Structure formats: structure tokens, C-alpha cells
A and B are shown apart, each in its own frame.
Chain A
Amino acid sequence: MNVEILSRIQFAMTISFHFLFPPLTIGLGVMLVIMQSLRVWTGKQLYSDMARFWTRVFGLIFAIGVATGIPMEFQFGMNWARYARFVGDIFGSPLAIEGIYAFFLESGFLALLLFGWHRIGPRIHLFSTCMVALGAHFSAIWILVANSWMQTPAGYHLARLVKLAADGRQFPMSADLGAQAFTLREVPLPTNYVVRPDELPHVRAVVDNFGDAILNPSTLDRLFHTVLACWIVGAFLVVAISAWWLLRGRHVASARASLKIGLAVATVACLLQMVAADSTARGVSRNQPTKLAAIEGLSSSRKEAGLSLVGMVRWKRDAAGQIVGIEEQTIRVPGLLSILVSGDFIHPLEASKTEVKGLSELPSNEFLRRRHPGATDAELATLRPQYWPNVPVVFQSYHIMIALGVSLTGIAILGCALWWTGRLFDTQTMFRRIFLRVLALCPVLAQVATQAGWFTAEMGRQPWVVYGVLKTADAASAVVKAPQVLSSIVMFALIYMLLTFLFLTVLARLIQKGPVSDQGGESLPEGWQPLSLKGGRHTEGGASSTP
């Protein structure tokens, strides 16, 4: 096991675990804004208790999100130092901005939410909730800007550090100029310059235009797609816990109200997600055609390409065991992929004539020849599979994501239908009880969907860490040794298992307690501190005026 593969495993492990939590905070943030708004608008104790309960859940999830998030920022420098040096001029900024504009906003106002229930009135509470939700969304924006730049880099050029002698001549960094004085200069490289791994200490990506880098071709699509996914996860958490209470016949009034709120948000988010997902996939077809061919399992280019629904994709190997292509064993809807790629739903017959490129032609000969000058077409054909992602795996992860997404949409719509016909809360019938149990499972389905989506996106980007520019294999830290990474993997695994156990235990107890009324604004049920901090001016249970 070398450093690269170990570092990849560690990153995958830490980011997957981390990404269980921020979507919940982003989604719950939206739910909290709705609940707090209802509290201010209606003044009902029901919504006050509801908001308070879900704020506590939020606090717990947020803390673990933070704890698992700090290692992510560190890991770029720790495990991927070559990458950090290469992209720092561009990639570092969104991360720093995420810190300044998002994390401070979230953490600062969260303090008020968690600890200030009796110190600030309901309206300020609502404002604080909005700020926390906004902060969470800002953080999503900036991290997605950064990740999207890795997928569709833009607004940059490559530059090389050279030694500039006094007479104006340029020498490579490795040249020994003896006693001659020189200055260091960074010179731009032409577009489409191919970086050699040995050049990496002295070549890096340098920003041209931050606007183009930030609003690179995939940022907006992926932003909407991911944020909607977060709303879905958060909404279904509320739905699930509400459904659970209804099944147990506890906290019924609160459960009914929160189930409705959750279901409404989930349905809207799922329906919007259909549009966002379509747009994102179309973006992939334009900007990362190799990835599209991989996730659809297209071995060869074709018109009237069918959309794969389910199936298997296997590697096709030659006599020596080298990969030469893929075997498709999929069920397809004829022509639909071509139509989706073209985006023209109004003229389906013409749209289905759109050619979709397959793996046998991707990456193009032209692209490959820039990296392997002088090779014949036949030689390029044997080199081509090195530039494919792990097709069998990403094909499956992509379809798992879609299957779950569609299922969740169906469940949400069914839930709304039952709600509309007034039959959602009747827990006496078998069907309704089964449905409530299904609802209780939904957050798990949603989480699996988001994980599958990210595996598709990131594994589909391989072998690149910056798509088309820098390979993952060239990006790991030079000074880190395999045993170090192995020990950090073990550490993370142990700690994250402990965190999981603690998180689930505390969450279970919270759910058990449920939303409890605070009597006179003084009592807090056991099981969740924070304690009220009093001092100076504080209001009794809300913004009531003192005589």
C-alpha cells in the first residue's frame, strides 16, 4: 500500500463521515427557520417547544460536523502537499472565505440559539436562526466552489518558476548558475500545457480571473444539486422522527405539525432536485464527457444513446489482463440519453439523434497525444484506459443515487397525497403504519444517496485531482510515509467509531424525551445541556415587557 492509495482511502473515509453531518445542519437550518417563523407568527407554545427541540438536535449534529470538518482542512496540507502547492493560489481562497464568511456566522449565532433561549426574545431568535442557516449555506457555497474548480478548472493558467539572470536569460530552477546573481520569476505557460510530475515543485496554477474561477462551468449546477440534497436529508430527518413519535403515540401534536413541515419541504426539494440533477448531468456531459460515459456505461459512441436504468458494467481485459474496454450489461431506455444530453425536450425525435461519446473515444486522441507525443492511434488506444475512472464502481454508485432519489420523491409525493386526503395521521390502518415506518427509514436512504452521489462525482473525476490537469497520483505529499498515513487512518477510524456511538446514543435520548414544554422559562429537561447563562439583563421566557 503506497502513500497515494492510503491517502486516498483516508480522505474518502474522513470526507464520507464528515458529509453525514453538514447536510443535516444545512437542511435542519431551513427547517428551524420555518419553525421559528411559525413561533413568532403564531405565538403558539407548540412551535416554541418544537423549535427548541430541533435546535438541540441541530447543536449536536453541528458539533460533530465541526469536529470532523477540521481534519478536512488540515488534510489538504498534510496528505496532499503537492496538490496544495500546485493549486494554492486559486483553491485556498474559497476555503479561507468559507472560514471568514460562513463558519464565523454559523458559530457565532449558534451560541445565541443554543444558550440564549432566555436571554433574547423570539424575534432575535428568529434572526439568529436565519443567520445560522445562512452561514451553513454560505459554507456549502464556498466548499462547492472549491470542489467544482477541481472538476472544471477555469480562470487560471499554468506558470513556471525560473531563474532570471542579470542579462535577462531564463534558466530552469535546477540549473546551477554558479556565482551568477539571479532573481526568481514566474513565467506563464501556454494553454493546454501538460505538466510533468518532475516539474511539479516549480509549476503551479495561477489565477487569471477569480470570477471565472469561482463561477466555473459546474459551480452553479453542483451548488443547487447539493444544497437541494441537503434540504432533502434534513427534511426527511424531521419527517422520520415525527413519524416515529406518531407510531409510538407520543408528542402527537408536535409530531403532526413537524411531519407536515418536513413533508412539505421534502417534496418541494425532491421535485426541484429533478431539475437540478438533470442540469448537473447535462453539465457533466459537456465538461467531463469521460465521466458521463463512465457513469452511463457507454463503451462506444452512438446516436440514439439509451439511458441506462440498471445493470452491470464489467471490465473487458485482453490476454495479458490489461483493461481494453468495458462490457455493458444494462437495461436501457432507447434514445433517452441522447435527448437528455441535448436538453431539447420539445423535439425529442431530433434530439435523440444527438451523438453521445463513448469510452472508446474518450479522452480524445488529441488530448492523449499531448501527453504521449508521437504515439500512433493504436498505441493511444491501449493508453486510453489509464485515463478512465473506475467505471464498474461509478456506474453503480450513480444508479444507486438515482434510484434512491426517485424513490424518495415517490415517497414524498405519496406522503403529500395522504396528507391532502386527510389520511396521513390515521395510525390505525396497517398501510399507514407501514408507511410511517418507511418514512422513519428515509433519512438513511437520503444519506446513502448523498454518499453515492459524492462517490460518483469524486471517483468519476479520477485519475485526475484537477480534471485534465493534475493527476491524483502526482498530488500526494512527498515527505509523508506510508506507515504515518496508516496510523492516522487507524486513529480516525477509532475516533469516528466512538463519535458515532456517542452521537447515536445522545440522539436516541433526545428523541425519547421529545419536545418538552419549558415551565415559566426556567426548567430545562435533563439530557441536553446547554444551561442558561444568566447575567445582566435577561428576559423571563420571551420578550415580555416588564412592568
Chain B
Amino acid sequence: MGILFTGYAILDGFDLGTGPLLLCVEDDRERRVLFNAIGPIWNGNEVWLVTAGGALFAAFPAVYATVFSGFYDAFMLLLVALIFRAGAIEFRSQRPGRRWRTTWDVAFAISSLISALLLGVTLGNLVWGIPLDAGHELQGDLFTLLHPYALFTGVTVVALFIMHANVYLVLKTDGPLQEKVMRWTRLTVPAYLACFVVFNAITLLFCPHIEAALRWRPLILGGIFVVGLLVTFNILREVRKGNAGRAFVSSSLALALHMLLFGAAVYPVMVFSTPNHAYDMTIYNSVSTGKTLGFMFLVAIIGIPIVLTYTITVYYVFRGKVVLTDESY
């Protein structure tokens, strides 16, 4: 699960983050470069989400049921946002008109933003805890989920994805556009760092169950946190030195470490239940049978390396800077 969701975050993170960044460039040509940076690969990136959802269903069906039905309205919005994103990319360049393209650009930016925000809100709620009853059913509605902590998590994830996208774009653009994009990193990286530090602070202050986890595993959690911070700092360093590739690796690594921090902090709980922690959903009480886990492990151990192989191949084919060809208009 960790691998699938982390893979999703690393890959779809930068194309979700590209959305809001799109509105920061005015020129249609520059926007098309941004679109084409993610053009061939965004579909494959989204598959990580689908697969993660499927794997959740297979391995922890109770968590899948509780979260998806409990977060109904939020997930419905997420679906709408994802569908609009797909539509926006496909239909945007179909017509040359400025109004057509701007409308779809805005649609793409907003839907990417909402998707990232909602994913963050979901994550925040899992950490904060949601009111569950003995049957692991959510007691509450959409507004139960939109409390300040969850919203701030949403903001943090948005900041993270925008930073990640920023770094990716430094890698994929050249010329004056690249310079512009590089200048943005001076904003996006510190913004994320700030969010991240504040986020961890609030979590420790207000989530007693996380504070307890820190006391149990101070070295692991503290270690991951510090390394994560250093790697994030490194992004700026690499960008300044002009190593776009290393910057992107740093960014991906930072993302992975932050997912790891989350996982290590909450383990073995998957969904916290407040106020009654007796109804927490853990990897023990929400799991499928050993047979299913064994079967899925086999499936994954064969499948994921294959997937990684051709994913890397596809990225390799499209390596290098985005260049718009002349015949586009």
C-alpha cells in the first residue's frame, strides 16, 4: 500500500501540481509547453491512484469501505475534479480560440488544485481521526471532515505538489521559461518547508495518538523528519547549482520520506477513530485473509517490477526538454 500510494504521490504529484502553476504563465505557447511536459505520462500516473484504490479494496476492504463511503461527498468532488482534469487536457488544444483554451486552462488548474486539496484533507482526517462506531462506520458528514487540521493538511499537500511540479518543470523546460520556473522555486520550496514544519508541529500538539507514537519511536520518526528536511533543503541547493535532475530526485525523495514519516507515525493504525480509539482500524482488524494477502503479494512481486520497467522506458523515450513543433497551429 505504501509503495503504491507513494508511487502515486511522486508521479501524479507533479502533474497535479502543474495545474495551478499553469495559471502563472500567460503565454499560450508557454502553457502548451507545461501541458506537454506532463502530456504523455499523466494518464499512466493516474493509474497509480486507481491501482492503489484497487489494492486497498483487496488488502484492507474494511478500510476501503469505511473511508470511501464515509467520505462520500469529498470523494464525489474528487471524482468530478479528476474527470474535469482528464477532459481539460484532452479538449484544451482542440480549438485555437483564446477563450476556449483559457476556460479549459482554468478548469484544469482548479480541478488539479481541488484534487490535491481533497487528497490532503483525506490524509489529514486519517491522521486526526474520524468518529467511527463499533461497526467502523463514519458518524458525520462532509463538514465533519472539513475541520481546520484537515484543511491545513490539504494546503500542505497542495504546497508539496506545487513544489514538486515546479522542480519537474525546471527539468523539462529550457530558455527563458526555465529561468522563470527556476525563480519560482525560491518561493515554492520555502513555502512547502514552512507548511511542513508547521504541520508536524500542529500534529504533535493536537494529536495525542501521534505524540504517543513519537514517544515510542523517537529515533525513527525523528530521523526521518530530519533527513526529510535536509533533502528538501537540498532541492534549492541543486536548483541553484543547475542540477535539475538531482533536484527532481531530491524532490521525489522528500516526498517519499514524508510519506514514510506518515506511515511510521501511524503504524499499525490505518484510520484513527476519535474519540473512542477502541474503534481504530488497524492493519490487523481490517485486513483480508492470509490467502488473499499471499495471492496479492505474488501478483505484486511479479507485476510491479514489470510496471516499473516499462514506465521507466516510457519516461526515457520522452526524456529531455519539451519542444513545441512548428506545425501545432
A interface vs B, CB < 8 Å? 60, 63-64, 66-71, 73-74, 76-79, 81-82, 84-85, 87-93, 95-101, 103-105, 107-112, 114-116, 119-120, 131, 184, 186, 201, 206-208, 210, 477-480, 484, 487-488, 491, 495, 498-499, 502, 506, 509, 522-524, 526-536
Contacts of A78 in B (CB 8 A): 68-69, 72, 75-76
Q: Is B300 touching A100 in the complex (CB atoms < 8 A)?
A: yes
B50 in contact with A70 (CB, 8 Å): yes
B67 x A77 contact (CB < 8 A): yes
For residue A115, which residues in chain B have a CB less than 8 angstroms away from its CB?
A: 39-40, 318
The answer to whether A103 and B51 have CB atoms under 8 Å apart is yes
Q: Kindly supply a per-residue 1/0 record for chain B positions 96-128, scoring 1 wherever the CB is within 8 Å of any chain A CB and 0 otherwise.
A: 100000000000000000000000000000000
When distances are taken between beta carbons in the complex, the residues of chain B under 8 Å from A522 are: 325-327
Separation in Å of the A483 CB from the closest CB of chain B?
10
Contact A105 B310 (CB under 8 A): yes
Choose among B54, B62, B138 the residue that contacts A96 (Cβ–Cβ < 8 A).
B54
The reply to whether B299 and A93 contact each other, CB–CB distance below 8 Å, is yes
13 A-B interface contacts by CB (under 8 A): A64-B86, A77-B67, A88-B65, A91-B57, A92-B57, A95-B58, A99-B52, A100-B299, A100-B303, A104-B47, A109-B314, A488-B72, A527-B94
How many Å from the CB of B288 to the closest CB on chain A? 4
The answer to whether B65 and A63 have CB atoms under 8 Å apart is no
Question: Out of A68, A88, A477, which one reaches B288, CB within 8 Å?
Answer: A88
Q: Which residue of B lies closest to A110 (CB)?
A: B43
Dominant SS among interface residues on chain A: helix
Decide yes or no: A67 and B94 within 8 Å by CB, A100-B51, A480-B72, A533-B322 being known contacts.
no
A104 near B44 with CB under 8 A, answer: yes
* A95/B295 in contact, CB under 8 A: no
Neighbour of A530 across the interface among B39, B96, B296, CB < 8 A: B39
CB distance from A406 to the nearest CB of B (A): 36
**B82 beta carbon closer than 8 Å to chain A:** yes
B136-158 CB contact bits vs A (8 Å, 1 = yes)? 11110000000000000000000
Q: Knowing A111-B43, A479-B69 touch, does A67 contact B320 (C-beta < 8 A)?
A: no
Q: Are A116 and B318 in contact (CB under 8 A)?
A: yes
Q: Is the CB of B289 within 8 A of A206?
A: yes
A92 cross-chain contacts in B, Cβ below 8 A: 54-59, 61, 64, 288, 292
Tell yes or no: B197 within 8 A of A by CB: no
Answer yes or no: B66 CB below 8 A from chain A CBs. yes
| CB nearest neighbor in A for B68 | A77
Asked if B69 and A66 make an inter-chain contact with CB atoms under 8 angstroms apart, the answer reads no
Taken together as a complex, chains A and B put the C-alpha atoms of A74 and B64 apart, in Å, by 9
Closest 6 CB pairs of A and B: A88-B61, A535-B320, A77-B68, A99-B51, A92-B58, A92-B57
Question: In this complex, what residue of A is CB-closest to B311?
Answer: A108
In the assembled complex, the CB of B111 is this many whole angstroms from the nearest CB of chain A, namely 11
Q: Does B226 contact A (CB under 8 A)?
A: no
A88 touches B57 (CB 8 A): yes
- Kindly report which residue of chain B lies nearest to residue A99, judged by CB atoms: B51
Q: Is the CB of A99 within 8 A of B50?
A: yes
**Chain B residues whose C-beta falls within 8 Å of the C-beta of A495 in the assembled complex:** 80, 83-84
CA distance A420 to B27 in the complex (A): 56
Q: Which residue of A lies closest to B90 (CB)?
A: A63
**CA A207 to CA B310, docked complex, whole Å:** 32
Please determine whether B299 and A499 come into contact, CB atoms closer than 8 angstroms.
no
**Residues in chain B near residue A67, CB distance under 8 A:** 82-83, 86-87
> Does B324 make an interface contact (CB < 8 A)?
yes
A167 to chain B: closest CB distance in Å? 22
How far, in angstroms, from A509 to B95 measured CA to CA in the complex?
Answer: 11
Are A104 and B299 in touch, CB under 8 angstroms?
no
B307 CB-CB contact with A under 8 Å: yes
Contact of B325 among A90, A91, A534 (CB under 8 A): A534
Q: Contact check, A535 vs B79: say whether CB atoms are below 8 A apart.
A: no
Asked whether B227 is an interface residue with its Cβ less than 8 Å from the other chain, the reply is no
Q: Is the CB of A77 within 8 A of B86?
A: no
With A84-B64, A100-B51, A527-B94 in contact, do A207 and B289 touch (Cβ < 8 Å)?
yes
A residues in contact with B313, CB < 8 Å: 108
Max count, chain A CB within 10 A of own CB: residue among B68, B139, B326: B68
Expressed in whole angstroms, the minimum distance between the Cβ of A202 and any Cβ of chain B is 9
A347 to B59, CA, bound (A): 50
User: By CB atoms of chain B within 10 A, which of A82, A90, A108, A526 has the most?
Assistant: A108
Nearest to A104 among chain B residues (CB) is B307
Residues of A within 8 A of B264 (CB): none
CB pair A484–B72 under 8 Å, yes or no, is yes
Please measure, in the bound complex, the distance between the C-alpha atom of A171 and the C-alpha atom of B73, giving whole angstroms.
Answer: 37
Contact A509 B39 (CB under 8 A): no
- The reply to whether A74 and B79 contact each other, CB–CB distance below 8 Å, is yes
Interface string of B19-58 (1 = CB under 8 A from A): 0000000000000100010011101101101111111111
Also in contact, A108 and B314, with CB within 8 A (given A89-B288, A101-B303): yes
Interchain CA distance A87-B64 in the complex, whole Å: 12
Q: Is A70 in contact with B292, judged by CB distance below 8 angstroms? A: no
From A477, A499, A530, contact of B87 by CB (8 A): A499
Q: Which of A89, A108, A509 contacts B44 (CB 8 A)?
A: A108
| Extra A-B contacts (8), CB below 8 Å, given A100-B303, A526-B96, A531-B39 | A66-B46, A84-B68, A95-B58, A206-B289, A477-B72, A484-B72, A484-B73, A484-B76
Closest to B294 in A: A210
A199 CB to nearest B CB, Å: 12
A96 to B49, CA, bound (A): 11
B82 to A: closest C-beta gap in Å:
6
